[in-house]
Amino acid sequence: MVEPETFTFLANLAKNNRKAWVDAHREERDDALRNFTGIAITLHDYADRFDPSVTHTKFKPKQSYSKFFQEARDRIGPGLYRTDIDVFANAGDPAEDVGYYLHIEPGNCHAGAGLFHPSKSALARMHARLVDDPQGLNDIVTNPEFAKVFPDGIVTRKALSVVPEGFQSNDPAAPYLKMVGLGCRRDLPDALLLDDDLIDLLIEIFRTASPVVRYFD
């Protein structure tokens, strides 16, 4: 599913994250972008096997993976370009709605569901849902099938030391309210992403993660 050359390009980019280098390797970059587009199309084509709502959504393949060039306001790390890419399978906007993803990064690949970089409005909606029904998410996490696939439960890219202003520290949802974006992830070895049969495993991962997506719908 992921081309070996895509991994090579991302690994080399991590060592040479400069415009001049990318300009000199434009062909490799374009090949990687075509690979990401192909993966997005594949995930959408198989979505009826894990979440039919994704199948029927308006689909734009080139908008179904994270931007390669990083705008200054969105920049992660010092480089101009992302050296990791998330390919999404969403029923809504990947920047606003919880959905499914495949994270492609040499040595740090994983798949699951979530919204790890929510906008201010998306984070507010997540908080409202958590306060309204914290037990609902706990029930998902403690389900044996979910726990087997996602042993770390609900994770975040950034955790606050205290709950956000306007919430109580003893709120049943407090552990989740401290998360700046959240979701579940299953780590995957790089070699597995090279296998065309990866789609079968992704379908199973996404199907198991689907209650998290439905919880936040």
State the average pLDDT over residues 174-181: 96
The pTM for the full model equals 0.93
Task: With beta carbons less than 8 A apart as the criterion, state whether 29 and 8 touch.
Answer: no
DSSP state of 60: -
Spell out the residues 6+ positions from residue 75 whose beta carbon is closer than 8 angstroms to its own. Answer: none
Domains defined along the chain, listed by start: 4-216 (3.30.930)
Contact at 8 Å (CB) between 12 and 25? Answer: yes
Tell me, what DSSP letter sits at residue 164? P
Distance CA 208, CA 185 (A): 11
Q: CA angle, 52 as apex, 47 and 58 as ends, to 5°?
A: 80
How does strand 182-188 pair with strand 109-115? antiparallel
H or E element that contains 111: strand 109-115
In this structure, what are the phi and psi dihedrals at residue 81, rounded to the nearest 5 degrees? -120, 150
Q: What confidence tens digit (pLDDT) does each residue in 18-55 have?
A: 999 999 999 999 999 999 999 999 999 999 999 999 99
Sheet holding 109-115, edge to edge: 85-89, 99-104, 109-115, 182-188
- Residue identified by tokens 């280098």 is 21
Measured at the alpha carbon of residue 65, what is the angle toward residues 59 and 67, in degrees to the nearest 5? 125
Out of 56-60, 87-91, 181-185, pick the least confident: 56-60
Percent of the chain residues topping a pLDDT of 90: 86
- 78-102 per-position pLDDT tens digit: 678 889 999 999 999 988 999 999 9
Any idea which residue has 């920049």 for tokens?
75
**C-alpha separations of 4 from 23, 100, 140 in Å:** 21, 23, 36
**How sure is the predictor about 72, in pLDDT bands with cuts at 50, 70 and 90?**
low
- The one-letter code for the residue type at 125 is R
Question: Per-residue pLDDT for 74 more than 70?
Answer: no
How many residues comprise the chain? 217
Q: For the chain, first and last CA: distance in Å?
A: 29
Average pLDDT, the chain: 94
